[in-house]
Homo-oligomer: A and B are copies of this chain.
Amino acid sequence: MNIRDIAKKAGVSSATVSRVINESGYVKEETRQKVLAAIEEAGFVPNAIARSLSIRDSSSIGVIVPDIANEFFSSIISGMGEAASGSQYSIVLFDTGEMQEREHQCLQIAESQRLSGLLITPVSELDMETRDKLIQFESKGIPVVLVDRNMKNSNMDGVFVENDAAAYQGVEALIRAGHRKIAIIKGPSTSMPGKDRFKGYKAALRDHGIALKKEYMVSGDFKIIKAYEQTKALLELPDPPTAIFASNNQTSLGVLKYLTEQKLKIGRDISMVGFDQIESLKIIDYRLSTIERDAKRQGYEAMALLINKLSRKESKSSGRKIFVPFQVVLRGSETIK
Contact = CB atoms under 8 A, between A and B. Distances in A.
Nearest to A263: B285
Interface in A242-275: 253, 256-257, 260
A237 interface: no
B48 A112 contact: yes
A113 interface: yes
Interface residues of A, number: 48
B69 A95 contact: no
Contacts of A230: none
A294 interface: no
Interface string A67-92: 11101011101100100010000111
A112 B314 CA distance: 27
Contact of A281 (B90, B102, B280, B296): B280
A49 interface: yes
User: DSSP class of A's interface residues: helix, strand, loop or mixed?
Assistant: helix
A90 B102 contact: no
Contacts of A284: 256-257, 260, 281, 286
Nearest to A112: B48
Copies of this chain, count: 2
Contacts of A63: 93
Contact of A45 (B46, B71, B112): B112
Interface stretch (A50-58, A176-184, A320-328): A50-58
A218 to B, nearest CB: 20
Given A114-B48, A283-B257, A296-B69, A81 B93 contact: yes
Contacts of A38: none
A92 B113 CA distance: 12
27 contacts: A45-B112, A47-B53, A47-B112, A47-B114, A48-B113, A49-B53, A50-B53, A63-B93, A68-B68, A69-B71, A69-B75, A71-B71, A73-B74, A81-B93, A81-B94, A81-B95, A91-B93, A253-B283, A256-B284, A257-B283, A257-B284, A260-B284, A280-B280, A281-B281, A281-B284, A284-B286, A286-B286
B49 A114 contact: yes
A108 interface: yes
Interface of A: 45-50, 52-53, 58, 60, 63, 67-69, 71, 73-75, 77-78, 81, 85, 90-95, 102, 108-109, 111-114, 224, 253, 256-257, 260, 278, 280-281, 283-286, 296
Contacts of A260: 283-285
Given A69-B74, A81-B95, 18 more contacts: A45-B111, A45-B112, A48-B112, A49-B53, A49-B113, A49-B114, A53-B53, A67-B78, A69-B296, A77-B95, A78-B95, A81-B93, A81-B94, A91-B94, A92-B93, A93-B93, A253-B283, A256-B284
A91 to B, nearest CB: 5
A280 B249 CA distance: 10
Given A49-B49, A49-B114, A53-B49, A109 B93 contact: no
